[in-house]
Structure formats: structure tokens, C-alpha cells
A and B are shown apart, each in its own frame.
Chain A
């Protein structure tokens, strides 16, 4: 049972909303998550489903306009509503984040050595020289050659893949316990993606840092994550071991999402299948299941919002229909 485990990070009923002209924009609604020591939890969903909002909420960086409710516990300590100084002490020190676009996450005006070192100098009180030494070590860890020389470069002098590796090294500077990855490979070429994923895998093998890996790329998630949470319209709709979820998705959305992966083993007309329709407007979420308007299995009960329920073993689903995975798959064809 998830409740019984002593989680490193325990998120309950986390909601984030922003004021909008047509009522509040619900970016995240009642999300539950548990992250254990050394674990890698994947979060998958379309763009705009609230993945990035989830990570920002964990760091308390949603901005002053956001309304954040629920509970975020780090080793039992409630972070929501904690003193700003306490949050700042955790950020970058215990919980570090890698952003989606390395070219905009790095300050173009500063040398990368400076940017790598500043977190460690602040949190660990390292001297400038010691921090730069540690930075060089970490650049080596993320497989950047001639690290000492690279420290003197500016972000624009690095390639995209190199920049992303620098931001990964930056996140690891203070040996955090939790690493938040926000689509770290999306902005990169496919071959570079593979290199960056390999770097992340080897870092996890060496440091055992617990990781929350957010992506819309199932393949990338599968290389790192052991468990997966599927998000739709700001809600978690399915959770479970990644293999089980892949083999037998129990939510119609997950089923459709997996079907939309290109399948080169099938004849051309069947290789790609799309989910018809659009994700809902976050300002006007339906009262019931948010996926109902696009769902092939929609029925009257869907007017009521389904809760995330345990189905088999550790596998949780938020759906009223109790059909087995195979039947749900058939409904899409």
C-alpha cells in the first residue's frame, strides 16, 4: 500500500489554479503522488496537461498569481505554506530541477562555470575555487570532455546537447535527494536525446538520486522510470508499474496514448493512430471525467468525476468502466 510506505516525497490532492478572465484556470486538480528513495517515477501526458505545473508547484515556483492547495510532504515536512526561507533552503539543495529548454534555462550573460558554482557556493558554503572544482567533476560525470576548459565558456558557445548536460550537472551540484526532470530531451535531436538519456541513466546508477521524470515521450520514460503516472487535463488518471501499464492499460486515455505511438511492425495504414478531438479548456473543465468528450467508452456514469482507485496490485485507475485492457483497446479500433 502506498499509504504505509514512508515516502521521500508525498503529494496529496495538489491543485494549482490561476485567475483567468473566464473563471479560474485549473492547471492541476487533486493530484496524488508518492516518490520513494532512489526511485524514478515517470509522468506522461500531452502538452498543457499540467506536467510542468506539477514540478513548479513542488518547488513553490508557481508565481504569486497561482492558488496552490493540497499537501506536499518532503520527509514528512509540509512544504505548502512553509516559510519562503525554508523553501529556498531546499531548492537546489535537496530538490533540484532540470528545465525543458537548456538555451533559456542558462543565463546567456554568465560563464557556465559561474552558473554551475553559484548554487554550491550558496548552499554548501564552498569557496569559489572548490565550487569550480566540483563543477568540473560534474561536467565529467555528464560526459563532457575537457571540463576545466568548458567552465570558462558562455552558454552560446555550447551545442544544444552539451547545454542540457550542463543543466543536468548544475542540478546535481549540491547532491540533491530529488531530481525533477522537465522534458529534458524534448528540445534535442534524436541521437542527442539518446546520449542525454544515457547520461541520466548512469547518474542514477551512481548516485541513486530519486527522480521525477516528466515527458510526453513514452520511449524516453521507459529507459529510466519504474513506475508511471498518466496525466490528463491536470489530473492523474492512471498509475502503476511501467511494464504493467504498457502491457495492459486500464484507462481509455492511456490505451489511446499508447496506440498513438508509431508501430513500425504493423502495415502502413495501421502504424499511427490518433486520439480524435482536443484536450479540454482548463478554464471550463467538465464536472465529470475530463476525458469523457473524447472517450469511445463514455457512458452516463462519466458525468460524475471518477476517483483514482486501486484495480490490480499497485495499478490505480480513475475510470468508471471496469473493462479489461484488451476490451478497452478494441474500443479504439
Chain B
């Protein structure tokens, strides 16, 4: 470690370690590019994502014609639809992850910090929920209550907080048994202050890593629902429903499958890679 690095805080050191990885820089750049495109393209394009155009059915992707990604069976511009799909997928991914991280952290800290019977009860609940086949249940729900954006949200949030709660509990238990917590309590610092000053900052790195890794799993889940026709409503599209549409046409027009699949895979890949890189970068064992 060079002398200049020595006085930096742990966050800056972690960021430096992350940035030192070429793959992480590429993942960040690619993700930023996709986000920017998803925001800008639908706003700037002359085409609409929903309006069918019977004169433009199944146009092959071409740079000259103006339809860079081609058009689908209803003559809608695939570029605009894919960008809308990215918007929806990323929005659901980020929002549902936030919800599940909040629940998971609260649940896990409570269990780990209070301990005893509360811990037993909270974690037993998590165990039971682990055995519930959620995705089939969500499918049932979707069919019965109609396709509802909010429902997708709640369903996804309900599934994905379990892992975070378990991990946060384990970490909280480890922190709880540290001497500095005992010391702070012995000095008369009150429990909420101890949690806020000592426990939460020590959890932050872990939570960031798992939040990053939750987003892709949520996106995949939503895409799965949309693929089964249970996600977003047509004519709105998410990457999952675009893949489903494309799979039906793949024999004659494989680009309808390949392009949305590539965007979906790219987003998930970047997020997974970033999560891995963050985990390495935040690991203090690297110092």
C-alpha cells in the first residue's frame, strides 16, 4: 500500500479497489449506457411503442431504413419497445430491491440484535417462508387477481427479502458480540444509538453488495412472470415479454428474440459482475 493511500477512509479505498478492476469499469459504463439509452431513445424516437403500423410488419433490422432493430408483427419499432422494456425492468428491479432490502435489514437486525426468543420467532418465520414455493404462488395470484403492477411488486418483494434477512442477522450477531458494542453499552450509550452508530455502518457494505445482487434476481423474476404472460400488460413491454414474443417468432425472425435477450442478459450480467466486484472490494481482508 502506498503512503498516499494509507490515510484514506475505507469507503474510498473500496471504491479505488473497485475502480482498479477493468471488468468493473466496463460493467459500470455499459450499465450507464443502457440506462441513458432507455431514458433518451423513447423520448427522441419518432416511433411509438404501442401504435401498430400495418405497413411496417416484420422489417429486418437496418441502419438505412431508420428501424435499427427492425419491427415486430404489429409493425412496432423494436428499438423503442426494447428501450421501454429496459425502463420497466430496471424500474421494477431497483424499486422492488429497495423494498426487500428495507424489510430484510429491519428483520435481520431485529433478530440478530435482540436475540433470544424474538430471534427464534423471526428466523423461524423466515424458515417457514423459505419452504413456501413462492413463484408458483405468485403465478396463482397473478391469474386470480388479474395482472396488477403493484401485485408483481409485492410478490417480488416478499420473496427476495429472505436472503438479506438471514445474512444481515448473521452479520449483526457477529457485530453484537464485538467488544466495542459491549464497551459502548457499558458507557451508557442507549441501544438505538448503538445500533445507529455501530451496527448499521458495519452492515452497510454487506447490504450494498446484496442490494446490487438482488436487483438482477428481481429483474429475472419479473421477466419470468412476463414471459409466462403474467407480468406487464400489453401493449406495454418488459424485456421478459419481449423475449416471449420473440420466442414465438424465432423461426422466421430470430432478431425478435435475440435483441431483447441480449439486452436482458447484458443488464443482468453487468449487475451480477458489479455485485461480485463490490463484494471483493468491500472485503477488508484485501487491505
- Interface residues in B1-19 by Cβ distance below 8 A to A read 1-2
- Interface residues in B250-272 by Cβ distance below 8 A to A read none
The interface size of chain A toward B, counting residues with CB under 8 Å, comes to: 2
In the complex formed, the residue of A with least CB distance to B2 is A22
Contacts of B1 in A (CB 8 A): 21-22
Contacts of A22 in B (CB 8 A): 1-2
Complex-state Cα separation, A22 to B2, whole angstroms: 8
Q: Which 3 A-B pairs have the closest CB atoms?
A: A22-B2, A21-B1, A22-B1
Contacts of B2 in A (CB 8 A): 22
Output the least CB separation between A247 and chain B (Å): 41
Output the least CB separation between A4 and chain B (Å): 47
In the complex formed, the residue of B with least CB distance to A21 is B1
Output the least CB separation between B280 and chain A (Å): 16
Complex-state Cα separation, A21 to B286, whole angstroms: 12
Output the least CB separation between B252 and chain A (Å): 55
Output the least CB separation between A284 and chain B (Å): 11
In the complex formed, the residue of B with least CB distance to A22 is B2
The interface size of chain B toward A, counting residues with CB under 8 Å, comes to: 2
Contacts of A21 in B (CB 8 A): 1
Output the least CB separation between B17 and chain A (Å): 12
Output the least CB separation between B8 and chain A (Å): 16
Output the least CB separation between B16 and chain A (Å): 13
CB pairs A–B below 8 angstroms (3 shown): A21-B1, A22-B1, A22-B2
Complex-state Cα separation, A22 to B4, whole angstroms: 13
Output the least CB separation between A31 and chain B (Å): 27
Complex-state Cα separation, A128 to B1, whole angstroms: 51
- Interface residues in B76-95 by Cβ distance below 8 A to A read none
Output the least CB separation between B2 and chain A (Å): 7
- Interface residues in A1-60 by Cβ distance below 8 A to B read 21-22
Complex-state Cα separation, A21 to B3, whole angstroms: 13
Output the least CB separation between A39 and chain B (Å): 40
Q: Mark A199-219, 1 if CB is under 8 A from B, else 0.
A: 000000000000000000000
Output the least CB separation between B4 and chain A (Å): 12
Complex-state Cα separation, A22 to B1, whole angstroms: 7
Output the least CB separation between A281 and chain B (Å): 10
In the complex formed, the residue of B with least CB distance to A20 is B1
Output the least CB separation between A314 and chain B (Å): 42
Output the least CB separation between B243 and chain A (Å): 45
Complex-state Cα separation, A93 to B179, whole angstroms: 44
Output the least CB separation between B52 and chain A (Å): 60
Output the least CB separation between B73 and chain A (Å): 57
Output the least CB separation between B231 and chain A (Å): 46
Q: Mark B1-45, 1 if CB is under 8 A from A, else 0.
A: 110000000000000000000000000000000000000000000
Q: Mark A307-320, 1 if CB is under 8 A from B, else 0.
A: 00000000000000
Output the least CB separation between A36 and chain B (Å): 42
- Interface residues in B178-235 by Cβ distance below 8 A to A read none
Complex-state Cα separation, A21 to B2, whole angstroms: 9
Output the least CB separation between B226 and chain A (Å): 46
Output the least CB separation between A20 and chain B (Å): 10
- Interface residues in B101-158 by Cβ distance below 8 A to A read none
Complex-state Cα separation, A101 to B203, whole angstroms: 30
Complex-state Cα separation, A21 to B1, whole angstroms: 7
Output the least CB separation between B100 and chain A (Å): 35
Q: Mark A228-266, 1 if CB is under 8 A from B, else 0.
A: 000000000000000000000000000000000000000
Output the least CB separation between A83 and chain B (Å): 35
Output the least CB separation between B159 and chain A (Å): 34
Complex-state Cα separation, A21 to B16, whole angstroms: 15
Complex-state Cα separation, A22 to B3, whole angstroms: 11
Output the least CB separation between B57 and chain A (Å): 60
Output the least CB separation between B56 and chain A (Å): 58
Output the least CB separation between A221 and chain B (Å): 32
Output the least CB separation between A25 and chain B (Å): 12
Complex-state Cα separation, A96 to B145, whole angstroms: 71
In the complex formed, the residue of B with least CB distance to A283 is B1
